[in-house]
A and B are shown apart, each in its own frame.
Chain A
Amino acid sequence: MADNAKPVTDGASRATPEMRTTANEVAVEIMNLNKWFGTFHVLRDVSLKVMRGERIVVCGPSGSGKSTVLRCVNRIEDWQQGRVIVDGVELTLDLKTIDEVRREVGMVFQQFNLFPHLTVLENCTLAPTRVRHMPRRAAEELARHYLARVRIPEQADKYPLQLSGGQQQRVAIARALCMQPKIMLFDEPTSALDPEMVKEVLDTMVGLAMDGMTMLVVSHEMGFARQVASRMVLMDAGQIVEINEPKTFFEHPQHERTKLFLSQILH
């Protein structure tokens, strides 16, 4: 797995810090986001700018608001103050705009959220055919392409619950990719998996990162983070504590909270 971390031949896809300043295309911009669940202040003035091709890994203790931030990017979660701009489009109250943004943003959930009444193939073709009005044949071809890419082409006609957790999560990734999103969100994609299945999902994600996908990942897989992250984000108590290059983040964390967090999870 380690050799995967080397820069890919496809140079344009791997965003280095230098490239970021020149390419300068903003994929996601979160500005001063504030959110309350009832009276509980879950997000406190969160701001984050994600460039195209960047891979941001967000970590932090549970309840720190990291998943909530992620869910604001496609407005599955509402907020009270602040702005979120995705691919140049601001998420307002307008449902049509929101749905348009959601089509460009793929999301992978901790619990997979596959549709159990549809086969794997139908899971993958539903949105392309019903939302993008792609012909069935073309959608199935696309779906098989992505299923092959996540290395489970032979499971296309099974139902999700007949697959293992790792396979289900890879189907979920393929399903999201079938909408050919510009940005992918991963909400703790390996937390619900048996230990033996974590690697197959992470490998898929690494492959995706290699291809230059813009990714926002909430994860505690520090090996994965080290390998693919352009920047690390640590959240605690609803706020961003530290944003840093992975090398600095892991080897010379600046904030006390980061040091504590890393010491807790890297034994």
Chain B
Amino acid sequence: MEATFVRRELIAPLPPPLAARGLLGFARQRLFGGVLNTVLTLVSLLLVIIVLPPLLRFLIIDAIWSGTSRTDCLAETLGRPVGACWPFVTAKFRQFMYGFYPEAEQWRVNVTYAIGVILLVPLLIPRVPYKTLNAIAFFGLFPLVAFVLLVGGMLWLPQVETRLWGGMLVTLVITFTGIIGSLPLGVLLALGRASRLPVVRMMCVIFIEFWRGVPLVTVLFFATYMLPLFLPGNWRIDPMARVLIGVVLFAGAYMAEVVRGGLQAVPRGQYEGATALGLGYWRMMGYVIMPQALKHVIPGIVNSFIALFKDTTLVLIVAIFDMLGQLRAAFADPNWATPVTLFTGFAFTGIIYLVISFAMSRYALYTERRLDTGARR
């Protein structure tokens, strides 16, 4: 080879060799590339083989699909192994969904859901226009409409006391309130904690550390049983409202720390760039810093939301029956007492929780990718 070299022609790009592409290439590189990799692949396969068939057998193949009482789900009467007893779920379905919400008024819950879905779906699809209006309707108007519809006692709607609420309704009300309450609260607390004003910072730190330091169960207990003792005279707050406030404050404190993490990931130059333009504090935070900070912590935020969604089950201890609470109440029904009732019930609620949590997580992932403006190439 010569010591000097001058290229005469540029090399045109070529497609990668065949072995690196397609299914075969994928399998060879990613599934069986090396001893450890091969072992992992085989172990995973084995796990699937061990877990999947019995699961399908229980949920579908051996499951009972119709019936009216426990006898339809007993192995003795059927003379074969019994899987999930789905008639139990069908029979208790309304209870799982609405709790003891009066049957004649349950349409109000459905209308609330319908309005919620109609407002939420276009909000989630980036291509649909009028986002600002839509957001105001969903986050501002919808809670009011939902409140009037669900609580009643206004217009021509008879009042439905919150102690009658239950099931999915309670789960969704607490989750929704928790989410739309905790995010703005968390943002404000995080800003406060990052503030240069010592009094503001101190107050936010105390607030966050207090609510984070106390278990949710304690918060709920305190809100339900102790708070009335401290309130003057016959000042009475609805038990559901007390729980909602407790949940929002609790979730807000957690959210504050998530958002603070996001704030720390925004480089100082962003603050300087915004400052140099004369944006001022609130506009800088609102248009420049917060959008980036929140984008960084989407996984953490969704994590908090999912945790909140599942933590709603704790309200059972203050005698509010969310979906899981209703399920446990339904177990007590002797008409459906079978060896598989417990598994069926938990499988059903488990699947519902899983589907909703998974949907949240997938949507968040989609948002993350959409907001990724060229940072990764």
Binding site for B on A (CB under 8 A): 74, 76, 95, 99-103, 105-107, 109, 111-117, 126-127, 130-131, 158-162, 172, 175-176, 179, 185
Contact = CB atoms under 8 A, between A and B. Distances in A.
Contacts of B276: 74, 76, 102, 105-107, 109, 113, 176, 185
B278 A100 contact: yes
B292 interface: yes
Given A116-B374, A159-B374, A161-B373, A131 B269 contact: no
Given A113-B269, A113-B273, A115-B270, A130 B279 contact: yes
B278 A117 contact: no
B348 to A, nearest CB: 42
A97 to B, nearest CB: 11
Summarize A's interface: helix, strand, loop or mixed. Answer: mixed
Contacts of B278: 99-103, 127, 131, 179
B277 A103 contact: yes
Contacts of A99: 278-280
Contacts of B288: 115, 126
A117 B273 contact: no
Given A116-B373, A116-B374, A162-B374, A76 B272 contact: yes
B287 interface: yes
A160 B273 CA distance: 14
B291 interface: yes
B83 to A, nearest CB: 50
Contacts of B375: 116, 161
B92 interface: no
A172 B270 CA distance: 12
A127 B277 contact: yes
Q: Which of B269, B275, B278 has the most CB of A within 10 A?
A: B278
Given A116-B292, A131-B279, A126 B270 contact: no
Nearest 3 CB-CB pairs, A to B? A113-B273, A102-B278, A103-B278
Summarize B's interface: helix, strand, loop or mixed. Answer: helix
B371 interface: yes
16 contacts: A76-B272, A99-B279, A109-B272, A114-B273, A115-B288, A117-B292, A117-B295, A127-B279, A130-B283, A131-B277, A131-B279, A131-B280, A161-B373, A162-B373, A172-B273, A185-B276
A93 to B, nearest CB: 13
Contacts of B274: 115
Contacts of B277: 102-103, 126-127, 131, 175-176, 179
A227 B259 CA distance: 48
A115 B273 contact: yes
B160 to A, nearest CB: 44
Contacts of A172: 273
Given A102-B276, A103-B278, A126 B373 contact: no
B283 A159 contact: no
Given A102-B278, A103-B278, A126-B287, A113 B292 contact: no
Given A113-B269, A115-B270, 9 more contacts: A103-B277, A109-B269, A111-B267, A113-B272, A116-B373, A117-B292, A130-B283, A131-B280, A162-B374
Contacts of A117: 291-292, 295, 371, 373
A2 B270 CA distance: 35
Contacts of B377: 161
B295 A131 contact: no
A105 B276 CA distance: 8
Contacts of A109: 269, 272-273, 276
A64 to B, nearest CB: 20
A116 B273 CA distance: 12
A130 B287 contact: yes
Contacts of A107: 276
Contacts of A130: 279, 283, 287
B285 to A, nearest CB: 12
Interface string B254-293: 0000000000000101101111111110010001100110
Nearest to A77: B272
A74 B291 CA distance: 25
Interface in B121-142: none
B270 A113 contact: yes
Contact of A161 (B269, B295, B371, B374): B374
A215 B377 CA distance: 36
B33 to A, nearest CB: 32
Q: Which of A100, A102, A116, A179 has the most CB of B within 10 A?
A: A116
A158 B279 CA distance: 23
Q: Which of A76, A99, A113 has the most CB of B within 10 A?
A: A113
A85 B278 CA distance: 17
B316 to A, nearest CB: 42
Contact of B269 (A105, A111, A126): A111
A184 to B, nearest CB: 11
A95 to B, nearest CB: 8
A162 B269 CA distance: 18
Nearest to B294: A117
Nearest to B269: A113
B294 to A, nearest CB: 10
B275 A102 contact: yes
Contacts of B280: 95, 99, 131
Contacts of A131: 277-280, 283
B52 to A, nearest CB: 43
B267 to A, nearest CB: 8
A160 B287 CA distance: 16
B241 to A, nearest CB: 37
